[in-house]
Amino acid sequence: MQVQSWQARAVTLQAALFLCAHVAVAQAAAQDQRPPVAPVVVRQGTPIPDEPRPIERPKAPAGETPSPDDTAEEGQSLNPMAHRCFVRDVMAFFDRTHVRCYNAANGRLVYFAVDTGQPVAETLLVKAWKSMRSGKPLQLKYAPTSDLNPPNCKPRDCRRLIDAAN
């Protein structure tokens, strides 16, 4: 009767497991079996937005009288209006770039905006920052009516900017 120590049995067991693993790999290689490859899924993180569309404004029914703001805008000429704006802040959004003034034009217009996709948007940012840093007013020309406003530019306090000069 031969008595083996537990260390000898452990070494024998390790050798047997090692041998079994190599035999399994050799058999798989002989049969050329490869594990199945999962298909590659490409996910888009952020959806690409559509082109900005003009805001659709509700029309007043035939029986109602228009608001005083609408009649004031209709009476104005189509020539650009001018305003000396002391720049409060400048913001660039996805759909528009706007300047906010400390002093309101016509008593209510404090935002002047352009579409971000227009080349004048970058010029507006530079001129507005320069004006804000120097403390000098920015000379603005803007559309007198709200029908040309960029997206998300509210008719009651925002107008499309046509030109800006320091």
Kindly report, residue by residue over 69-122, the tens digit of the pLDDT: 544 445 456 789 999 999 999 999 999 999 999 999 988 999 999 999 998 899
Q: What is the mean pLDDT of residues 127-140?
A: 94
Q: What is the mean pLDDT of residues 8-27?
A: 56
Q: What residues contact 96, with CB distance under 8 A and at least 6 apart?
A: 113, 114, 115, 116, 150, 151, 152, 153
Query: In this predicted model, which residue has the larger pLDDT, 1 or 130?
Result: 130
Q: What is the pLDDT of residue 166?
A: 84
Q: What is the pLDDT of residue 68?
A: 46
Domain ranges, ordered by start, for the chain: 82-165
Residue with structure tokens 């404090």?
110
Q: C-alpha distances in angstroms, 102 versus 67, 90, 124, 139?
A: 26, 12, 17, 13
Bridge partners of residue 85, in order along the sequence: 138
pTM score: 0.55
Query: In this predicted model, which residue has the larger pLDDT, 55 or 114?
Result: 114
Asked if the model's pLDDT at residue 4 lies above 80, the reply is: no
Q: What is the pLDDT of residue 78?
A: 75
